[in-house]
Chain A
Amino acid sequence: MTALSRAARRHGPAVLFVAALLGAWQGLADLQVISPVFFPAPSRAFEELAFSASDGSLWTSAWATIKRMLGGWLLASAAGIVIGGAIGSSRTARDYLEPTLEFMRPLPASAIIPVAILFLGLSGSMALAVIAFGAIWPVLLGAAHGFATSRRGLRDVAAALEFGPVQWMWKFSLPAAMPDILSGARISLAIALILAVVTEMQASLPGLGYDIFMAQRSFRSAELYAGLIALGVIGFIVNHGLAMFERRVLSWREPQS
């Protein structure tokens, strides 16, 4: 009972706000200020969602987009941790890599798409490459910062226990950099979802982004909004999942801050 009322108190305002928003949307659509061809009522968008869920097309598209997003994000995270770790822990690596990276970082990932298409064609691997390129920066910078933070005390401990460089990385540096890496990874994940949708639209790859694009082109506005709702739900769930993972992995930080 108390848990229920606590949940109600905590999430009540947010639920109320969403309800009010949907109500306003429905009201505006019912007034038909804008033609329903461009602006469907939420009831129609949810009907469309339910329909595509029942015939399975929603799940196929959503899964394709999720796979693309996660694949690109994992690639970005792995590369970001390795490169960021190198920059953060080695002066030499930083001197070699940093200027180039600083040049590449401001490039919009969408501007990379034509280049990626030239090299990889209109393929899933092209999408992965673009997503990884665009999503790498937050993890990379987080890792670079996390690894660069000086930890002389821990270095002494590692030396006193005769740990070599590999064990220093694995047992000391990486876990110490974890908070910075994870906060970067969460931003990267949001970017990965954006780029998954963009590449689908640009390269006609199957997924929610392509569905939305096609719905817009053929004036099927209810379908378009259904796709947007699905994307929002995916982003929400994935972000929460990662936040929960972060809280678990970083539970040691809670008492201090």
Chain B
Amino acid sequence: MKRFTGDLQSCNYEVSESGQGGITLHVQGKMDASNAATMIETFSDLVKDRQPRSLTVDLQKVSYLDDFGALVLVETRKMMSNGKNHFCLQNVNDEASKVLSILHFESLEKGDPFRKKRPPAMLIRLGEATIHHASDLKFLLSFLGSVCLSLLHVCLHPKSLRRDDTFLCMQKTGVDALPIVGLISFLLGLIMAFMSSVQLRQFGADIYVASLVSLSMTRELGPIMTAIIVAGRSGSAFAAEIGTMKISEEIDALFTMGFDPTRFLVIPKIIASIIVVPLLTLFSDVFAIIGGLVVGILTLDLTANAYITQTIKTLTLFDVFLGVFKSGVFALLIAWIGCLRGFQVKGGASSVGQATTSAVVSSIFLIILFNSVFSVILRYWE
């Protein structure tokens, strides 16, 4: 006779031999969640040690049995039937048999609910991916079309623009972003001036620091940095907002109320972005030039007057307009891709997260791509 105690208060058992290699387990006490894990382990060791021909579990003294207890029995039965050996229960009281019957104890077959679906063959996956991307592309095009149509509609009927939403969006995208855009641009101008001054000083070309900072900022870095900040701040917010509206059926509500979701949600965001992002870019240029000016005065012995005169001499109106025009295009891209990703949300919360990530990544990619295109065009145009 052997007793099972362990650190679990509520249960112990006795083993008795019943001849012809069979054993009987007399379980006593509670069989519940608190001791199920230990019991499974102990019984499996017991079965492995003794290799009994048949196993009977006597439940006469079991005071409480729930589905964790039933699990112990199922697991024990499984271990026995692996070796094609006999398993049975005896003295099952009313309450226990009620629990066992609602759990379909007799018919619980083996099976693993965690089995993953087997990945399909490579050709099938290739085909599925192709179809997936094609339908993505189709959605992208139809969304582009619907945005163009809505924009046209708003141009023809300016009153249909949701003005309050647009102003609110201008505030969130533009005004609220000004401090961070200003700070980053200022530091960027500072760094550029500082790094270039080390080189230019060797040639006594200190004054060209002003040209370098102002030209590179207005033409390239200003629009790009501003666009990246806006993509991170607002593009992600557009995707998350629309995505959440999509999963909580708010988009459906708009549709059945007779509103065009694109005109209602997307157009204010696009118009607001196209207005404020170029303005932010101008601010960014100015702050960067101030950053350069600070370095010029403090480390290069330039006068403020000389620095500003050089800056004005370098910059043409075309450079400034080019930067502003580019940032307008970037703004369109950011708002468009942000809203697109929002509308692509399907399912639950994790999909919103994916859409947000994807909105930022795609807009940064598109910003750089379009910037390269502009550079190539300008190279042959000027």
Are A and B physically bound partners? no
B residues near A (Cβ < 8 Å) are: none
A residues near B (Cβ < 8 Å) are: none
